[in-house]
Amino acid sequence: MSDTATPARPVSVITTLFVLVLFAVFFLAVRFYYKPATTAAFVATPDNFSKDLEWKSTRELRQKTLVDAQKAEAERAASYSWADQKAGVVRLPIERAMELTVHQYGKKKQ
């Protein structure tokens, strides 16, 4: 038995070339036939939206809604309130919740 490498079998070479040709055909088909949409995502007029979806009608309303939602979430994250009063679950500011967690689990390690 010799240490020389065996040459590639013709079936392997043909299969490799066939796969490369398939990739090239796919690439060319996508390149020439794919046309991305050029219209905006939200092109409907505000008249076509129901009242609960009116915030989607213009870019300015979407931005205002996002800012309002972020402000409301920041206020909720920084204040005390009931999450579920019947179950006794409260909402704490994040910093206070981290302090309580460290205090609770810090005692268990000692």
**Which residue in 67, 107, 73, 69 sits closest to 91, CA to CA?**
73
pLDDT of 30-83, one tens digit each? 999 988 877 666 555 666 677 778 877 788 888 999 999 999 999 988 899 998
Q: Which residues contact 42 (CB under 8 A, 6 or more apart)?
A: 56, 57, 58, 59, 62
| pLDDT mean over 79-106 | 91
Residue 110, pLDDT above cutoff 80: no
Cα distances (Å, whole numbers) of residue 37 to 5, 34, 41, 43, 48: 52, 10, 9, 13, 22
| pLDDT mean over 1-21 | 80
56 with 49: CB under 8 angstroms? yes
90 with 104: CB under 8 angstroms? no
| pLDDT mean over 85-102 | 91
Tell me the C-alpha distance between 52 and 67, whole Å.
Answer: 17
Sequence letter at residue 41: A
Looking at residue 1, its pLDDT comes to 53
Specify the higher pLDDT residue, 3 or 98.
98
Specify the higher pLDDT residue, 9 or 108.
9
55 with 67: CB under 8 angstroms? no
Please state the domain extents for the chain.
8-77, 80-110
